[in-house]
Amino acid sequence: MIISASRRTDIPAYYGQWMMARLRAGEVLVPNPYNASRISRVALSPGNVDCIVFWTKNAAPMLPLLDELDALGYKYYFEYTVTGYGSALEPGLPEKERTVDTFLRLSERLGPEGVDWRFDPVLLTSSITPAWQLECFGALCRALHGATRRCVFSFADPYPGIRPSIAPLEETQMCLLAKGFADIAGEYGLPLYTCAEAVELSEYGIRHAACIDSAKVERIAGYPIRVERDPGQRPACGCAASVDVGVYNTCPNGCTYCYATTRPALLRRARAVHAPDAPMLTGWPRGGEQITDRTGPSLRAEQTSLFDNL
């Protein structure tokens, strides 16, 4: 089983202590994002968790926890977003220099394979022009290229609840930016991928990515796995199936383009009930919920010998 921690919130930045408590306890409760009265119980032993994929924009609070995470026997890697947009669009994040420093420290700890750089989402506004994007991308490539094996980007999507001034890009704009990104990344030998994008950019040497990548999980875990594509993701997403342990409307980063936290009242309520020792990220069940086991087995593929059937 692959654990996603999490597409729905920034667990390393705000809920690392809670995550570690759940790993020590060996299980987590996850409310259904569409029906909070239905809760999944997910076992989290190293024997059935093949890999944890952490998604974050600020891994600094998680760095002191990695020694224990290793000692517990878990395998993991990070999807780390660094954009450089600043406080106008990302008010809850550290300044770019601190974020870059944390990325480099995390890579030094895990190696470049353990940290994917996400330049995501790519967007344009009245002040964020194509020239600005290319300049920012170049500066970040220069800083991060030796600390990661790849860069993954996507273009902003018009999710309900995000700021209306962030409009979807036209395909001509996508291609213009993609060519510029590819030229810059090529100077640093950094492979470039898109995340959940239908647009075809292979003429620029840009491939489609799976952020939860079965081949990467195999390298991190140290053994082959059998896993299907995640049917719960967008059609253009190539990610392997995983179990997400996060909760929507719990991330205080405040990014104006975010699809996962769009209701401030729910965020305030979630922060008020959160406790590091609670079984759910949003506290304890109130009673009366339907709790169902959703524990997946290890995805480890048993290797067979050519002589097994002789």
Report pLDDT digits (tens) over 19-40: 999 999 999 999 999 999 999 9
Report the domain count for the chain: 1
**Residue 304 located in a structural domain:** no
pLDDT on residue 310 = 44
Residue 46 lies inside a defined structural domain of this protein: yes
What's the domain range around 188?
A: 2-293
Confidence of residue 309 (pLDDT cuts 50, 70, 90): very low
Query: What pLDDT is attached to residue 164?
Result: 56
Distance CA 67, CA 88 (A): 35
Query: Does residue 269 surpass a pLDDT of 90?
Result: yes
For 307, residues 6+ apart whose C-beta sits below 8 A from its C-beta are none
Does any domain span residue 289? yes
CB of 22 closer than 8 Å to CB of 278? no
Residue 306, domain member (yes or no): no
pLDDT at 185 over 50: yes
Task: Let me know if residue 268 belongs to a domain.
Answer: yes
Whole-prediction pTM = 0.94
User: Could you report the per-residue pLDDT of 48-88, keeping only the tens digit for each?
Assistant: 999 999 999 999 999 999 999 999 999 999 999 999 999 99
- Whether pLDDT at 163 is above 80: no
- Examine residue 301 and state whether it is found in any structural domain, yes or no: no
pLDDT at 15: 99
Domain-located, residue 181: yes
